[in-house]
Amino acid sequence: MRYLFIALAAGGLGVGCATPRVSSEPRMSVEVERWRGRYQEERERAEALAVRLAEAESALEAVAQERAETAQLNQVLEEELGRAAAVRHSLVEHNAQLVTRQREMTALREELEDVWYQAALSRARRRSQPPSAQEPSQAPAPPMPAGSP
C-alpha cells in the first residue's frame, strides 16, 4: 500500500500541477488597458491645454510689449510736442520782433523820404533863383520834420 499511496500522491501532484490555473489576469489586463486609454486621453488633453496656454502667454507677452512700446512712443511724442510748442513760441516772439522792426524801418523810411524831399526842394529853390538873388548870407535852413534828431 505504500506504493499505492506514493503513486496516488505522485499522480495527484502531477495532475494538480498540470491543471490550468485560473487567474484574474484577463480581467486585470482589460481594466489596465481601459485605465491606460483614459490616461492617454487625459495626457493628450493636458498637452493640448499646455499648447493653448503657451499660445495665450505668448499673445499676452506680445500685447504687453506693444503696450510698453506705445507708452514709450507716447512719451517721445509728448516731448516732441513740448519742443514744438517751445519752438512755436520762440517763432511767435521773433515774428513780433520782426513786425516791430518793420514798423520802425517804415517810420525811418518815411523820415528819410521827408528829408530827401526837403533837400530836393531846397536844391530846386536854389537853382530856380537867379544868381544875383543869392546873397552871401544863407537863407534860413528848412524846418526839420518832427521826430528827427
Residue 109 lies in a domain: yes
Task: Give CA–CA dist 52/40, Å, rounded.
Answer: 18
Write out the residue range of the structural domain in which residue 40 sits: 28-127
Residue 83 lies in a domain: yes
Which residues lie below 8 Å from residue 134, measured CB to CB, with a gap of 6+?
Answer: 126
- Predicted confidence at residue 4, as pLDDT, reads 73
d(CA 86, CA 98) in angstroms, rounded, equals 18
Q: Would residue 12 count as lying in a domain?
A: no
**What is the pLDDT, as a whole number, of residue 102?**
97
Does a structural domain hold residue 142? Answer: no
Q: Identify whether 17 is part of a domain.
A: no
What is the C-alpha separation between 14 and 100, in angstroms, rounded? 133
Instruction: Supply the pLDDT for residue 16.
Output: 61
Distance separating alpha carbons of residues 14 and 97, to the nearest angstrom: 128
The pLDDT of residue 50:
97
pTM here is 0.43
Q: What is the pLDDT of residue 53?
A: 97
d(CA 75, CA 40): 52
Question: How many domains does the chain fold into?
Answer: 1
Residue 102 domain flag: yes
Q: Is residue 106 part of a domain?
A: yes
User: Domain for residue 6, yes or no?
Assistant: no
pLDDT per residue of the chain (149 residues) written in tens, 0 to 9 = 777 778 777 776 666 655 556 554 567 788 889 999 999 999 999 999 999 999 999 999 999 999 999 999 999 999 999 999 999 999 999 999 999 999 999 999 999 999 999 999 999 998 888 766 555 555 555 565 555 54
pLDDT at site 2: 73
pLDDT number for residue 21: 60
